[in-house]
Amino acid sequence: MTLQKQWDVLSLLKITTDHFIGKQMDEARLQVEYLLAHTLQLNRMDLYLNFDRPVTPNELDHFRDLCKRKLQGEPLQYILGSEQFLGLKFKTDSRALIPRPETEVLIELVFEALKERENQARRVLDIGTGTGCIAISMANLFKTSDVVAVDVSEQALALAKENALEIGVENQVEFHCCDALNDAFHERFFQGFDVIISNPPYIPIREKDELQVEIKAYEPEIALFVEEGFEFYRKIASDANKMLNSGGLLAFEIHCEGKDDIEEILNRKAFSNINFHKDYSGLYRVVIAEK
């Protein structure tokens, strides 16, 4: 009878990291740590306090399944089922885009802009809410605000509602399924918003093949791609003129190569104080303008 090898945390970390490196996996050790910590229901840093902990056969099987999914290209956030965003834990799965650091920058800059106005954000509209990370974070930052979150995907809205309930802002955010490109969009929500904020689809479909497999094969295409790249910016900027209060803010996350085109769109719609901001990589990824 052949005895099965008894694995411990340290040996499993080492051999799996070597395997991931051999498969040219980016940040191999970090990825393995997250997967093993998730398997063992530990915090990642707790692995270092449990190097000698035995890994049971059932845990080993589960860990191998997770590693297989990662090697096939599935995003780590979908495998783990959550992502941290501005200090909040958001449930993540294939119903919506994974929250990203650039979007954190968007919210942080809007927050700073509003602080200069004594936090005037009584009504906020988030267009293309996805996981709800923008709407929920705004509700969490501005406790007295009413937030409206819209998305064309019923599945994404279901996920956003789950996150709002889990984080405890379900009574502060109302969710609606609708298409921001629809001609009647602004009529449905009328006016009276202090902030309109959006991370809309902005990747031209021609760029799809250039993306990483974990993006183009796993995240929802409807939240990523448009035909040309600026459709949502033109439509939202036009509607925002009717929906924003005087002096209200329009804030977008943008394509890193979209600055000049979006500046032209906002100028044509007579927005003022148009300010572009860079992300942590030094790329222009956020614009805030005033009605």
pLDDT in tens, 190-204: 789 999 999 999 999
pTM: 0.92
Domain 7-72 belongs to what topology? Helicase, Ruva Protein; domain 3 (1.10.8)
Give CA–CA dist 105/97, Å, rounded.
16
Whether 187 has a pLDDT exceeding 90, the answer reads no
Give SS3 for 251. Answer: strand
Give the pLDDT score at 4: 59
How would residue 161 be classed by pLDDT, with cut points 50, 70 and 90? Answer: very high
Kindly state which CATH superfamily the domain 82-290 is placed in.
Answer: Vaccinia Virus protein VP39 (3.40.50.150)
Structure tokens at 259: 């600055």
How buried is 274 (Cβ within 10 angstroms: 0-12 exposed, 13-18 middle, 19+ buried)? middle
Structure tokens at 107: 């919210």
CA atoms within 13 Å, Cβ hemisphere of 283 = 10
| Domain extent listing, the chain | 7-72, 82-290
How would you classify the pairing of strands 82-85 and 88-91? antiparallel
Whether 254 has a pLDDT exceeding 80, the answer reads yes
| Contacts with 280 (C-beta within 8 Å, 6 or more apart), sequence order | 101, 102, 105
pLDDT in tens, 80-128: 999 999 999 999 999 999 999 999 999 999 999 998 776 667 899 999 9
Give the pLDDT score at 190: 76
Structure tokens at 103: 């979007």
The DSSP line for 169-234 is -TTTEEEEE--TTSTTHHHHH-S-EEEEEE----EEGGGGGGS-HHHHTTS-GGGTEESSS-HHHH
What distance lies between CA 89 and its chain's CA centroid?
A: 12
Q: Which residue has the higher pLDDT, 187 or 19?
A: 19
In single-letter form, the type of residue at position 144 comes to T
Give SS3 for 23. Answer: coil
